[in-house]
């Protein structure tokens, strides 16, 4: 069990305690406090207003959409939404921070306590763990420094400066790299469902500060109050790296303590190439951020109407959707896979809508996961670029459901639709079935004729079957189907075969 993650030290067993602070970039056209664009990848300093460059006398005016998205995110994790919140200044000097302070929320965050439930094992409801979220606050991103453009100078690009971030702070509720990974993936899924963050970790839209401490199993310190000294590893930008940081940090801390040393409360950086963390700054030269309410901004007060609109705009969320799918007879595992990401869930929902046969949902789920996802994986395609559109998938599945083609033929048809060299890439399934003559037949004359041939050619097996080796029935089915090029209606074939063998 992932829950039992333990570090084996020389002096005993250790438990690891993990908290994550996730910075998620809010999806918005313009920045949190200015009208400059937020798009990724623009020419340096082109998406910068005078406000973002902190010119003298420039003032912040907050973007409603950024507030709305953070509120919706809070609602999606059942968090308390604070109707009265406030922006504070976090003061420190750095070349990527033009104002000399970051506008953030320390004392009165927009979103209070909430929770995220994760399944450590997708097939097992019993593996559910609830990770507390302490708060979500809204703040500005900093600019970007480039160090490799000039031998003695660093270059400053302020395009990111002022972009809205949600800082989602978890409680120290995680106990293994796996749990942290599951939490991050689930959080990312929720953000993408809500549409408040695109979750693109490569472009830095989501990154985590990883807080890690260790304590002896069974020793004093099982309660939250008795946590070990923690380190914070900043800006880790993939789920894999977050898990690597935890493993490395936990082991490093255990070794340090067992050697008689002490963990220093400090900020660390992860080196993905070496897979290790190193000190960025120690507590002694930690910043004194001198937080205080931003006097350029009034307190943020939210109206009922605004909150109601935020709530009304929330989509069905992953957990609810999974339950609904399971209610349609879809297996727990399939439901988990389909709801893991908003794009596949949307695809599947649209497919169900097009199919209009809820009783066929489990088969549809099987087809999507084993056929479509399998093929997309092999060809390295994203679901958003699936060559089989939702409409085509619904059409294909309808053909199975109404008995026009068999599942075997359906598999053939999907392969043709997904193969760029098949001559049928992107074609409608009905067309493929027609032009290739793949329609299944219930013509008993044809089926009987084939059965007779197969039985005649296998008299020995017929004798064995009649002597009680009933497992051979499948063999006769397979042979007949093969002879019919897969096109026989399986129900009719079964019935006729049974009748002939009984005769």
Partner 1 sequence: MSVDTATVRHIAKLARIAMSDADIDALVPELNNILGWVEQLAAVDTEGVEPLTAVIDQKLRLRDDIIDDGNIRDEVLANAPDAQHGFFAVPKVIE
Partner 2 sequence: MSDLTSKAIADLRSGFRSGDFSAREVATAYNAAVAAGRALNAFTVETPEIALAAADAADAARTSDDLKPLSGIPLGIKDLFATEGVDTTAGSNILKGFKPPYESTVSGKLKAAGAGMLGKLNMDEFAMGSSNETSAFGPVISPWKRRDGGNAALTPGGSSGGSASAVAAGLAAGATGTDTGGSIRQPAAFAGICGIKPTYGRCSRWGIVSFASSLDQAGPMAKTVRDCAILLEVMAGFDKKDSTSLDLPVPQWESGLSSDLKGQRVGIPREYRIEGVPVEIDALWDKGVEWLRDAGAEPVEISLPHTVHALPTYYIIAPAEASSNLARYDGIRYGLRELGDGGLDGLYASTRAAGFGAEVKRRVMIGTYVLSAGFYDAYFTKAQKVRTLIKRDFTQAFDRCDFILTPTAPSAAFALGDKSSDPIAMYLNDVFAVPASLAGLPAMSVPGGLDAHRLPLGLHLIGRELDEQGVLNAALAIEERAGFTHRAEKWW
Considering all CA atoms of the chain, what is the largest pairwise distance in Å, rounded to the nearest integer? Answer: 98
| Binding partner at 147 among partner 1, partner 2, Zn ion, none, C-beta below 5 to 8 Å by kind | partner 1
CB of 137 to Mg ion, least distance (A): 11
Binding mask 98-137 for partner 2 (x = CB under 8 A): xxxx------------------------------------
| Binding partner at 336 among partner 2, partner 1, Zn ion, none, C-beta below 5 to 8 Å by kind | none
| Binding partner at 109 among partner 1, Mg ion, partner 2, none, C-beta below 5 to 8 Å by kind | none
Dihedral Cα 394, 399, 403, 405, nearest 10 deg: -130
Please tell me whether residue 11 adopts helix, strand or coil conformation. coil
DSSP for 124-141 reads -GGGEEEEEEEEEEEEE-
Contact of 101 with 66, CB cutoff 8 Å? no
| Binding partner at 209 among Mg ion, Zn ion, partner 1, none, C-beta below 5 to 8 Å by kind | Mg ion
Please tell me whether residue 263 adopts helix, strand or coil conformation. coil
DSSP E strand stretches across 323-414:
none
- CA pair distance 27, 34, nearest whole angstrom: 15
CB of 164 to Zn ion, least distance (A): 11
Q: Is 167 among the residues that bind Zn ion (CB under 5 A)?
A: yes
- CA pair distance 177, 240, nearest whole angstrom: 9
- CA pair distance 65, 115, nearest whole angstrom: 23
User: Among residue numbers 194 through 213, which ones bind Mg ion (CB under 5 A)?
Assistant: 209
- CA pair distance 268, 272, nearest whole angstrom: 13
Where does this chain touch partner 2 (CB under 8 A) — which range of 90-98, 249-257, 315-323, 463-471? 90-98
- CA pair distance 387, 432, nearest whole angstrom: 15
Q: Is 173 among the residues that bind Mg ion (CB under 5 A)?
A: no
Binding mask 141-160 for partner 2 (x = CB under 8 A): -------------x-x----
Among positions 23, 31, 89, 487, the unique one binding partner 2 when judged by CB under 8 A: 89
CB of 160 to partner 1, least distance (A): 12
- CA pair distance 82, 77, nearest whole angstrom: 14
Which CB, 215 or 230, lies closer to Zn ion?
230
Contacting residues for 472 by C-beta, under 8 A, at least 6 apart: 461, 464, 465
Which CB, 9 or 293, lies closer to Zn ion?
293
Which CB, 297 or 472, lies closer to partner 2?
297
54: burial class by Cβ within 10 Å (0-12, 13-18, 19+)? middle
Contact of 237 with 35, CB cutoff 8 Å? no
124 alpha carbon, distance to own chain's centre: 18
Which CB, 88 or 209, lies closer to Mg ion?
209
Which CB, 21 or 96, lies closer to Mg ion?
21
Which CB, 276 or 383, lies closer to partner 1?
276
CA separation, residue 213 to residues 244, 410, 451 (Å): 14, 53, 70
| Binding partner at 57 among Zn ion, partner 2, partner 1, none, C-beta below 5 to 8 Å by kind | partner 2
- CA pair distance 307, 106, nearest whole angstrom: 22
Among positions 20, 53, 345, 390, the unique one binding partner 2 when judged by CB under 8 A: 53
Which CB, 36 or 180, lies closer to partner 2?
36
Which CB, 151 or 260, lies closer to partner 2?
151
Contact of 438 with 413, CB cutoff 8 Å? yes
Task: Report the interface residues with partner 1, using CB under 8 A.
Answer: 28-30, 34-37, 43-53, 61-67, 86, 93, 95, 145-147, 149-158, 269, 280, 288, 290, 293, 297-301
- CA pair distance 321, 339, nearest whole angstrom: 7
CB of 207 to partner 2, least distance (A): 23
Q: Is 21 among the residues that bind Mg ion (CB under 5 A)?
A: yes
CB of 91 to partner 2, least distance (A): 5
In the complex, which residues of this chain contact Zn ion (CB under 5 A)? 167
In the complex, which residues of this chain contact partner 2 (CB under 8 A)? 50, 53-62, 89, 91, 93-95, 98-101, 154, 156, 288, 290-292, 294-298
């Amino acid at each position: 069990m992932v829950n039992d993650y333990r570090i084996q030290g020389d002096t005993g067993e250790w438990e690891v305690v993990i908290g994550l602070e996730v910075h998620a970039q809010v999806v918005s056209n313009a920045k949190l406090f200015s009208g400059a664009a937020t798009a990724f990848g623009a020419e340096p300093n082109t998406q910068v207003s005078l406000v973002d460059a902190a010119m003298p006398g420039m003032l912040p005016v907050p973007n409603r959409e950024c507030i709305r998205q953070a509120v919706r995110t809070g609602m999606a994790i059942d968090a308390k939404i604070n109707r009265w919140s406030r922006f504070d200044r976090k003061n420190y000097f750095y070349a990527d921070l033009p104002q000399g302070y970051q506008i953030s929320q320390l004392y009165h965050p927009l979103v209070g306590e909430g929770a995220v439930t994760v399944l450590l094992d997708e097939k097992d409801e019993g593996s559910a763990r609830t990770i507390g979220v302490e708060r979500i606050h809204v703040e500005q991103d900093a600019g970007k420094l480039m160090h490799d453009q000039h031998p003695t100078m660093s270059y400053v690009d302020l395009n990111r400066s002022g972009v809205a971030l949600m800082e989602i702070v978890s409680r120290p509720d995680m106990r293994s790299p796996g749990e942290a990974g599951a939490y991050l993936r689930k959080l990312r899924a929720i953000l993408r469902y809500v549409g408040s963050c695109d979750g693109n970790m490569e472009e830095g839209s989501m990154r985590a500060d990883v807080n890690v401490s260790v304590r002896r199993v069974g020793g004093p310190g099982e309660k939250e109050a008795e946590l070990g000294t923690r380190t914070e590893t900043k800006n880790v930008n993939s789920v894999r790296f977050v898990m690597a940081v935890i493993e490395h940090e936990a082991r490093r801390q255990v070794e340090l303590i067992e050697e008689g040393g002490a963990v220093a409360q400090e900020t660390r950086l992860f080196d993905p190439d070496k897979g290790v963390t190193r000190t960025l700054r120690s507590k002694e030269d930690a910043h004194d951020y001198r937080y205080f309410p931003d006097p350029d901004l009034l307190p943020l007060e939210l109206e009922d109407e605004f909150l109601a609109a935020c709530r009304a705009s929330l989509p069905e969320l992953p957990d609810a959707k999974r339950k609904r799918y399971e209610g349609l007879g879809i297996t727990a595992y399939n439901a988990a896979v389909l709801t893991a990401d908003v794009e596949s869930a949307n695809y599947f929902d649209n497919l169900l809508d097009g199919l209009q046969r809820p009783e066929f949902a489990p088969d549809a789920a099987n087809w999507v996961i084993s056929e479509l996802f399998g093929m997309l994986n092999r060809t390295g395609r994203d679901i958003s670029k699936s060559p089989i559109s939702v409409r085509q998938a619904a059409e294909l599945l309808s053909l199975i459901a109404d008995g026009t083609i068999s599942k075997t033929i359906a598999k053939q048809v999907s392969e043709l639709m997904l193969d760029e060299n098949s001559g049928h890439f992107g074609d409608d399934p009905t067309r493929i079935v027609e032009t290739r003559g793949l329609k299944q037949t219930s013509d008993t004359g044809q089926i009987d004729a084939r059965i007779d041939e197969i039985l005649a050619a296998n008299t020995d097996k017929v004798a064995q079957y009649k002597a009680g080796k009933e497992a051979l029935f499948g063999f006769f089915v397979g042979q007949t189907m093969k002879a019919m090029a897969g096109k026989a209606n399986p129900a009719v074939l079964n019935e006729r075969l049974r009748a002939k063998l009984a005769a």
